[in-house]
Structures are given as C-alpha cells and as structure tokens.
Amino acid sequence: MPVRDQGVVVTGAGHGIGRALAVRLAAEGARVVVNDLDADAAVQVAEEIGGHAAPGDAAGEQGVAALVEAARDHLGGIDMWFGNAGIERGRGLGAGEEEWAASHEVNVMAHVRAARLLMPTWVSRGSGRFVVTASAAGLLTAIGNPAYSVSKHACVAFAEWLSATYRHRGIVVQAICPQGVRTRMFENAGPLQEMLSHDGALSPEDVAEATWRALHHDRFLVLPHPRVADYYVHRATDTDRWLNGMNRIQRQFEDQGVL
C-alpha cells in the first residue's frame, strides 16, 4: 500500500512504538506529523525523519482538537491517524480513581475524540485509515493491572465499532495488539517482564515492521506476536479453561511475592 505523500499523524511518537512507526512511515515517503507530550522528543524525532513536530496532549478534547487542526494546517489534510499514545497506571484493586480515569482518558477517549473529528471528512471523500495501538491485553487480559486491561479492551472494542460502522465507506480501521515490546512501559514492568516475554519481547521496530506489512492487507487485527491469535481463539472457545490458566499465573506471582 503506497503511503508516499500521504498525510500521517502519529501520537505518542517521541518514544517506543510510536517513534518506530513514525520512522518507518517516513522512510516510505509519508509526510508525518509527530505528536508527543514530551516536546523535546517530538521535535527530535521530527527532525530525524523530516517530519513536523506537534507536541502536546493527544487525549483531552481540546488537545485532540488542537492536534487535528495543527496537522491539517501543515499537511493540508490527514489521510492516516495512528493513535499510539497510551499509559499503564496502578496495580490491582488498589488502583485509585485518578488512575482509572487517566487510563480511560488516554487509552479510550483519545481515540473517540480523534474519530469524531476525522470521520466526517473521510466519509465524504470515501477514504481514510485509523490505526490504534492497543495490546494483547485488549484481546486477552493483563495480570496485575485491571485499569490497563479494561481500557485496552475498550480501545479494541471502539476500533471494532468503527470498523463495523465505516468500512463500507472506504475507511480502514486496524488495532495493533502486541505482547511484550521493549519500551519504557516494559522496562517498568519489573517481575511481570517474564510473563510479557513469554513469546519473546519484540523491539518497537519489529512492531512497526509488522504494522507496515499489515497496511497492505487491511485486516483488522495486527498481531506482531502471531501466537496471540491462538490464545484469542482459546479464550473464546473455552473461557473457563483460559481463566484457570490465567489464575495459575496469578498464583505463581503471588507465591513469588510479586503480586
């Protein structure tokens, strides 16, 4: 799928998967707007790839509106939106109200707000691509962090709704759902790194390459770890067996004093 000269926005692109996506897309000729709360990182990536830095909030209503306006002003129009910004907050039922609210704001509402602004134009012209960086946790679950697991499930669910609603309008929606990726979030996972690395911890560049390949076939799920597809089937077809297996992992971590 050609992206040369396409106008692309990547949120959370100062580091990790977002940075790798921006680099990969720019290498293919896309005109990339680089967004991140870390303004210095956004500028650095933009300079590196010949893109345009638009640092700031990509979750709040005003922040998303400002980013869309800035991107349109620079690009002339947005062809693809990569909603990559995400957070992981809290542990267990001890996660507080603010942690739950922040997880919902960044991991879910950021996508809702961007879609509200992008879809009318895309529908009228009959094309557009909306890609969210979710997680395997959004298809399965995540040990230890309910706010992350629930918000990533909601992220995938919203992307599914968008796809079901707009695919006949020429709009492609995709959800990237990796397991362990060597990002700052992974480095801060502590003992949970072992579980996240069960099928290998990928580099952000690996995820970007898997995403680039996925852009050519338009399938909804982008699975950099192919085994996730098998786990997803097992979860759906024998849910209690799946939950028993997850509970065994939970008990192992409890026995180790991790959770």
Active site residues: 148
User: Alpha-carbon distance 170 to 158, whole Å?
Assistant: 18
Encoded tokens for 203: 């580099």
Query: 219-251 burial by CB neighbour count: b if 16+ within 10 A, else e?
Result: ebbbbbbeebeebbeebeeeeeebeeeeeebee
Q: How far is CA 33 from the centre of its chain?
A: 16
Query: How many other CB atoms are found less than 10 A from the CB of residue 158?
Result: 20
Q: Are 176 and 207 in contact (CB under 8 A)?
A: yes
